[in-house]
Amino acid sequence: MDAFDLSAASINTIIAATVIPFAWRMAGAIVLWIVGGWVIKSVKMLSRRGMDARGLDSTLIEYLESAIGIMLRVLLVIAILSLFGVETASFAALIAAAGVAIGMAWSGLLANFAAGIFLILLRPIKVGDFITAAGITGTVREIGMFASVIDQPDNVRTVVGNNKLFADNIVNYSTNAFRRVELTAQLAHSVDPLAAIAALKARLAQIPNVIDNPAPDVEILEFNAAGTKLAVRPYCHNDDYWQVFFDTNKAIAEVGGANSWPIPAPHQVLRQPA
């Protein structure tokens, strides 16, 4: 009987010394996790409202909101571990060391991530713009976290790392209201260039989507062995570029045919000494 009482007393002591404190810690951890989750959700919601009020880009808002949530979750886990007596200082140092190692291993991804943020903040391009950058010409379809998607004119989709895109010169054809189509017309020696200029200007004004301000340019570009070369330069919106490009070529052919321009050919004059 004495041995049984001693064993029961030992069990009660063990329960009082270990199980009950652990149960309280577990309950505290659960409460802390629930409350902390609610706080994190509230902080993310408030931060999103603040960023929306400042007019930040929606993609950048997603980046920042995700980063805030991850950082607060890590702090919450460290706080919960401290309830169980885990040395959080060494744990934080371990996280920092792991972060440095991951950062070195993922330096390329981090560079693309940083470039993506700059693309969104500085806005040299936006979705729908027609650009040339990183050796690619096409329409921007997406500016992602690490890479951007560009559809080329032949409908080939290309994914370009943001760092390569941001580090290169960016030519944005969609920013300005119009752009110039550059073509040439080679005239034969027998064609009057001034009459040809007048005829081409009148015809260019009839091409759909050619704007009248500025008016199309048709000027003498050079004189060569075949005759006079004209610069033919109508202006249009970027969306209409190729339509105006091809229609202008057709217009040059039509004007030449209507006026019976001869085919230009190089002429040489040979003189023999007397």
**Three-state SS across the chain?**
CHHHHHHHHHHHHHHHHHHHHHHHHHHHHHHHHHHHHHHHHHHHHHHHHHHHHCCCCHHHHHHHHHHHHHHHHHHHHHHHHHHCCCCHHHHHHHHHHHHHHHHHHCHHHHHHHHHHHHHHHHCCCCCCCEEEECCEEEEEEEECCCEEEEECCCCCEEEEEHHHHHHCCCEECCCCCCEECCEEEECCCCCCHHHHHHHHHHHHCCCCCCCCCCCCEEEEEEEECCEEEEEEECEECHHHHHHHHHHHHHHHHHHHHHCCCCCCCCCCCCCCCC
The answer to whether residue 217 scores a pLDDT higher than 70 is yes
pLDDT-based confidence at 96, cuts 50/70/90?
A: low
Q: What is the pLDDT of residue 139?
A: 94
Q: What is the CATH number of domain 179-258?
A: 3.30.70.100
Give the tens place of pLDDT for each residue, 1-20: 455 454 555 666 655 556 66
Q: What integer is the mean pLDDT of 241-245?
A: 95
Every domain of the chain and the residues it spans:
6-105, 124-172, 179-258
The topology (CATH level 3) of 124-172 is SH3 type barrels. (2.30.30)
Architecture of domain 6-105: Orthogonal Bundle (1.10)
